[in-house]
Structure 1
Amino acid sequence: MRYTGSKAKRCRAVGMNLYGNQKFDQLHNPYPPGQHGNTRKKRSNYAEHLLEKQKIKWSYGCTERQLRKIYDEATRAKAATGTVLLQLLEMRLDNIVYRSGLFASRDQARQLVSHGHILVNGKRLAIASARLRVGDKISFRERSKKFVFELTKDRAAISGAISGQWLTVDVKENTITVDAIPERDQIDQSFREQFLVEFYSR
C-alpha cells in the first residue's frame, strides 16, 4: 500500500532527506516526531536495526515485500550481501531516473515512470521497480519531450555532476545511459546496510 502520511515525519525519524526534495533538507524540527521527540533516549539494538531498514526502504520507495525479495537475492551473491542489496536497489528504473539529476525528487522521477513518459531501449516501460542492466538507455516518449524539457531545463548543471560515474546523462537529448553497476562508494554513504542484513538474518 502506498504511503500517504507525513513525509517530513519520516525524514525526521531517520534524520535524513529520504525523498530528494529540497524542502526536506532543513526540517523545522530536526529531532524525531512525537511529544518526546527532542529528548535524548538511547535506542535499543533492535530499534537501531529496524530504523536502518526503514531508512533504506523509504529512501528507495520499496514495499516490505520488495525489499525482502531483494535481500534474499543478495544473500545468494558471492559479494557482500549489503553492498549487493544496495546495488540492486540502485538499478531500479525510478532510482536511475532520479540519480540522473534531471529531476527534483524521487517522487517526481517515480511519477514520470508510472505515468508512461519513459522509454527504455526505445520501448515504453512504466514499472518503477523494473531493474535495468548495464548498457540500457533511457529516453522519453516523443509526445512527453516538451513536458520533460520544462522539468529539466534548469537542472543541466546538476545532472552533469553524476555523468561519468556510472551513468551518462545527455542533457541536450534528455537521455540516460547505464554505464556500470555503481560501486559502494558511489552510493549514499549514510546507509548502514549491514544493520539491514543483520535485521533480516535474525
Structure 2
Amino acid sequence: MARYTGPKTKISRRFGELITGNGKWLTKNSNPPGMHGGNKKRKTPSEYALQLSEKQKAKYTYGLLEKQFRKTFEEAARKKGVTGENLIKLLEARLDNTVYRMGISVSRQGARQLVSHKHITVNGEVVNIPSYSCQPGDVIGLKNKTAANKSITDNLRGKNPKFNWVEWNEAEMKGTFITYPERESVPENIKEQLIVELYSK
C-alpha cells in the first residue's frame, strides 16, 4: 500500500507543529512549504479548509490513507458515545500505534515496519497487520527470535508513564493493552470534532 515517503519536516511545516520526524529542522524553518515561504500572503482559511487540514493532520500522524481513515471513522460513528472520541480511541488501538506507545519503537513508522515484518505477537500469535485493532487485555510482545536481536532491543525506549492504557514488561518483552484511552490522555493535538463535521457534510 502506498505511503508518504517524502520529507518529514515538510509535513510538520505545513501544519506548523511536529507531526512526523524528530522536528530537528522545524525550529530553524517553521514557514509553510513552498517557494514563497513566509512571504506569501495567505488568506484566512475557510471552515472547510480547517476541517480538511485537521483530517490530513490526523492521517499523517497515524499513517493512514484516505480509504482506511474513512473506514475507521465509519466504525467510530457506529459505536455508542461521542464519534470524535471513538475515532481517537480506534486510532490509538491500532497495533502499530500500540507498539509505538509501549516504547518498542521510537516512531510509528518503525512500529509499522516491526509489525509488517512479523516481529510482533498478539496473545502469542504473530500478527503482521498494522491496522489490527487491539482489544483490552491483549498481550503484545516480541517473537523469541526478535527478542534476542540486539539491533532491535537496543532501540527499546521504554514506555512513557503517562500512557496509562498500556503497560510494558521489559524483562519479559511483553506488554498489555489495558483499555481504550480517554481523550484527555492522548497527547496528539487533533481537533477531532472538525473531522466529524467534515464527514457529516
Q: TM-score, normalised by structure 1?
A: 0.90
The equivalent residue for 1:149 is: 153
Amino acid in the other structure paired with 1:93: L
Q: CA deviation at 1:16?
A: 2.4
SS of 1:168's equivalent? strand
Q: CA deviation at 1:107?
A: 1.0
Q: CA deviation at 1:144?
A: 0.8
Equivalent residue runs for 1:42-191 within 5 Å: 42-147=44-149, 148-152=152-156, 155-156=157-158, 159-162=159-162, 165-191=164-190
CA contact (8 A) 1:13 1:33 kept: yes
Provide closer, same or farther for how the CA distance between residues 140 and 9 of structure 1 changes in structure 2, counting only shifts above 3 A. same
Amino acid in the other structure paired with 2:132: A
The equivalent residue for 1:32 is: 32
CA contact (8 A) 1:12 1:27 kept: no
Root-mean-square deviation over aligned CA pairs: 1.7
Could you tell me how far apart the structure 2 residues matched to 1:95 and 1:178 are?
11
Q: CA deviation at 1:103?
A: 1.9
What residue ranges of structure 2 are gaps of 5+ in the alignment? none
Could you tell me how far apart the structure 1 residues matched to 2:90 and 2:73 are?
9
Could you tell me how far apart the structure 1 residues matched to 2:54 and 2:17 are?
11
CA contact (8 A) 2:165 2:179 kept: yes
Provide closer, same or farther for how the CA distance between residues 144 and 161 of structure 1 changes in structure 2, counting only shifts above 3 A. same
Q: CA deviation at 1:135?
A: 0.2
Moved runs in structure 1, 4+ residues, more than 3 A?
Answer: 23-27
Q: CA deviation at 1:71?
A: 1.0
Q: CA deviation at 1:189?
A: 4.8
SS of 2:168's equivalent? strand
What residue ranges of structure 1 are gaps of 5+ in the alignment? none
CA contact (8 A) 1:166 1:178 kept: yes
CA contact (8 A) 1:113 1:126 kept: yes
Q: CA deviation at 1:32?
A: 1.3
CA contact (8 A) 2:13 2:26 kept: no
Provide closer, same or farther for how the CA distance between residues 2 and 160 of structure 1 changes in structure 2, counting only shifts above 3 A. closer
Q: CA deviation at 1:36?
A: 3.0
CA contact (8 A) 2:118 2:127 kept: yes
CA contact (8 A) 2:12 2:26 kept: no
Could you tell me how far apart the structure 1 residues matched to 2:36 and 2:62 are?
28
Point out the more displaced range, 5-14 or 121-130. 5-14
SS of 2:45's equivalent? coil
Q: CA deviation at 1:121?
A: 0.4
Q: CA deviation at 1:10?
A: 1.1
SS of 1:33's equivalent? coil
Q: TM-score, normalised by structure 2?
A: 0.90
